[in-house]
Amino acid sequence: MNKRPYLVGISGGSASGKTSFLKALREQFSMQELCMVSQDNYYKLAYEHQKDENGHTNFDLPDCVDLDAFAKDIERLSKGETVYRHEYLFQHENQQGELLTFTPAPIIICEGLFIFYHERIFSQFDLKIFIKAEEELALQRRIARDVAERNISENFVLYQWQNHVKPSYERYLLPFMAQSDMIINNNTHFGTSLTVITSFLKEKI
């Protein structure tokens, strides 16, 4: 690589549709054109997380994520270095997932809840995208996902939403929406936004 990659940060609230958008964006590029790095693989071990007043682990805090390690790896990718990281296994936090390989590419996409909150990460982005959805819709998406994929009861999903997810969103994510270059309202579809962003990034390669 003869020049610095173009760095894109994509953030947004829980169940705003980031995963669906990122999957669709990934499909528009080859592995040689685009590298995608997720904050999800930088979660600390469960015993390091804070518990709330009822003794429940709160995974929706910046301190739950090794954001310094994330920042260092993004810097390494920007310099043309390959990065290796073990996959984080939700619901199996103390097990080591497979070793993932992140290869430098002209476009580097970084995604996660708290990547805008961490100044060292935020300052690296050339383009900042914030994905949002109406609260009730996001909550229903979260319930559907956690009940089906993570075997969490609906009552506990609601507890987490009110006590962990929503307060964290308002404190650590929402203030950065105004500082984003693009806001995607992902209530029904993101087709137009995907087309615009894809075309823009293709020009950067």
Enter the tokens of residue 121. Answer: 């990460």
The domains of the chain, with CATH numbers, are 6-202 (3.40.50.300)
Closest CA to 67 of 101, 102, 41: 41
d(CA 144, CA 20): 14
| 26: amino acid identity, one letter | R
d(CA 181, CA 7): 13
Max CA pair span of the chain? 53
Would the CA dihedral through 50, 57, 92, 115 be positive or negative? negative
Digitized pLDDT (tens) for each residue of the chain, 205 residues in all = 568 999 999 999 999 999 999 999 999 999 999 999 999 999 988 767 789 999 998 999 999 999 999 999 999 999 999 999 999 887 666 677 899 999 999 999 999 999 999 999 999 999 999 999 999 999 999 999 999 988 899 999 999 999 999 999 999 999 999 999 999 999 988 999 999 999 999 999 8
d(CA 7, CA 29): 15
pLDDT (0 to 100) of residue 91: 62
